[in-house]
Structure 1
Amino acid sequence: MMLKYALTALAFVVFGFPASAQDRPQVSQCQLIAEALPSVTFAKFQPPDDGALFAVEKAQLAEDVRITFLGHASFLIETPGGISIATDYNGWYQTPKVPDVVTMNKAHSSHYTSNPDPAIAHVLPGWNEQAPGEKIEHKIVVGDAYVRNVPTDIRSWGGSFEANGNSIFIIEAAGLCIGHLGHLHHELTDAHYAEIGRLDILMVPVDGGLTLGADSMSRIVQRLRSALILPMHRRGQPIETFLSMFDESFDVTMSQERSVTVSMRTMPRKPLIMVLQGI
């Protein structure tokens, strides 16, 4: 009986949400451990040893998520169920097909477009256009993916801050929690960390100042303690400036590819900063 329930739970995580999930609020699997801040310590996902995944054959699992760096702050995330999500979408970068979901932030025109392809089913701005300064909330299930946001403030050209002008978008698919910091302009509060929860994969800007300085951004990365860190949004400053902020508790690899394929089983056991080709 216990095996039956374990297999059922595994199928839910790996193969996606039931169809009826579209019709009811979705509970984030990434937030389940984030209820007791500031004393909470976030759990870090530890992939099971080979052969220990509830005794289910690996070949039966549709578990791979493919992440491709498109350019600037845009990644394409492709789920096992065939859903594609483009982050900080600006319409400049080509994708194999029209994405099912695009997220946008408004710091600069390189992070959004006013004229998204009308074939895109779900266009998610990270700010509230109808009520500037008010939070915008996205919580949608599309196929086997769940997309939500955590609003943050944004710095204007004059130096003042606009409340809730940026969003950290979180994509949950195949049991993985994938976070994109967007155009983050300030360090995060305990409340932000509680809303975010666990992030297995983190996409982090490394421009050194247009968003946050390398030191501030590295503190966020160290606190989130994601298994896989993907730098993005590099302008001017060499990537080594960001990498120098981390000690031997983080591994670093310079990839020869623009894409990486990941799953719950293949996540690194030690935090890995992977610099994809094109960064």
Structure 2
Amino acid sequence: MLIRFFITLLLLSQGAMAQERQPSHCIALAEGAPGIEYIVPANFSAVAPENVRIHYISHASFLIRSHGGLNIVTDFTGFTGSAPFIPDVVTMNHAHDTHWTAHPDPAIPHVLPGWGEFGEGIDHRLDLGEVLIRNVSTDIRSQFSSVETEGNSIFVFEMAGLCIGHLGHLHHEPDAAQYAALGRLDVVMAPVDGGYTLDLPTMTRALKRLKSSIVIPMHWFSLFALDDFLSGMSDEFAIVEVGGPSLEVSLDRLPGRPTIMVLRPEWLSAP
């Protein structure tokens, strides 16, 4: 009887864990966008249920924080600010050393490089219950103007029913298979420098095809570059100056019209 009792408890606990992550709709048709309303700015504190906090740290690094307290840092360079902070997951890309570190803190439980052996790419599918993290590989320009096949990763974070994508150091428009693998992204962080990654016309075309509810510009080196990007997107996207580094987003409060949310980067500091 005791053995049967413990087996029952184990099965019940596994069922509860399997239900921790609200299912997302990444691979739904791009046209099937949920219609809805609005976003709430937030700071580095607790996250409301069924919400995700996104904090722009610097350059291409963001802190993505779940309601359950999972902390993910994108394009991790080894430094996030003065806050004593060890993320649960870091993702990295290696087109430039401002997007990765060769020496991540060994205390970080999950370190996900966006590349593998030269030209071979890498596949990630990390299921942490509350968050599923996967990647779609793209090519990058390597030294001497050659190409490193699958040297960059677009990371996708499925959490709270949302699909959140980070384009990394994107050097070409995704092809049909890559668009299909990404699915529909509710939120996308996009490099808008206009040269080191994609030229602005190509980036604009890619973002309009992705049809994300929220676009967060990153990897801009001047306000002029940012303004050029915003001008090119203003015909189809609303533009919102959030007025800080963070926003909190949930599936039932996405903007009804595709919207660019402009965050101002800020290092993480102790509360």
Q: TM-score under structure 1 normalisation?
A: 0.80
Q: Distance in 2 between matches of 1:202 and 1:18?
A: 30
Q: Distance in 2 between matches of 1:151 and 1:278?
A: 26
Confirm whether residue 275 of structure 1 aligns to residue 262 of structure 2: yes
| Paired amino acid for 2:152 | N
Paired residue for 1:33?
28
Greater RCO, CA 8 A, separation 6+: 2
Number of residue pairs aligned between Structure 1 and Structure 2: 241
Choose the corresponding residue for 1:80, options 67, 89, 103.
67
Helix, strand or coil: the match of 1:154? strand
Choose the corresponding residue for 1:149, options 135, 152, 169.
135
Confirm whether residue 177 of structure 1 aligns to residue 175 of structure 2: no
| 1:86-101 correspondence to structure 2 within 5 Å | 86-94=73-81, 97-101=85-89
For residues 73-106 of structure 1, the C-alpha deviation after alignment (integer angstroms, 9 at most, x for no partner) is 0000001111111000001222563111000000
Confirm whether residue 134 of structure 1 aligns to residue 120 of structure 2: yes
Confirm whether residue 196 of structure 1 aligns to residue 182 of structure 2: yes
For residues 145-186 of structure 1, the C-alpha deviation after alignment (integer angstroms, 9 at most, x for no partner) is 000000000011321111000000000110000000000000
Q: Distance in 1 between matches of 2:25 and 2:84?
A: 29
Helix, strand or coil: the match of 2:251? coil
Paired residue for 2:241?
254
| Paired amino acid for 1:45 | P
| Superposed CA RMSD | 2.4
Note if contact 1:183-1:205 (Cα within 8 Å) is conserved in structure 2.
Answer: yes
Q: TM-score under structure 2 normalisation?
A: 0.83
Q: Distance in 2 between matches of 1:257 and 1:207?
A: 20
Paired residue for 1:8?
none
Confirm whether residue 43 of structure 1 aligns to residue 29 of structure 2: no
Q: Check 1:86–1:246 CA distance in 2 against 1; reply closer, same or farther (3 A cut).
A: same
Paired residue for 1:240?
227
Q: Distance in 1 between matches of 2:175 and 2:202?
A: 13
Helix, strand or coil: the match of 1:124? strand
Q: Distance in 2 between matches of 1:105 and 1:45?
A: 31
Q: Percent identity, aligned pairs only?
A: 46
The Cα of 1:189 is off from its aligned counterpart by 0.6
Helix, strand or coil: the match of 1:45? coil
Q: Which blocks of at least 5 consecutive residues in structure 1 are unaligned?
A: 1-16, 35-40, 50-60
For residues 114-164 of structure 1, the C-alpha deviation after alignment (integer angstroms, 9 at most, x for no partner) is 110111100000000xx3211210001124000000000001132111100
The Cα of 1:253 is off from its aligned counterpart by 1.4
Paired residue for 2:44?
none
The Cα of 1:20 is off from its aligned counterpart by 5.2
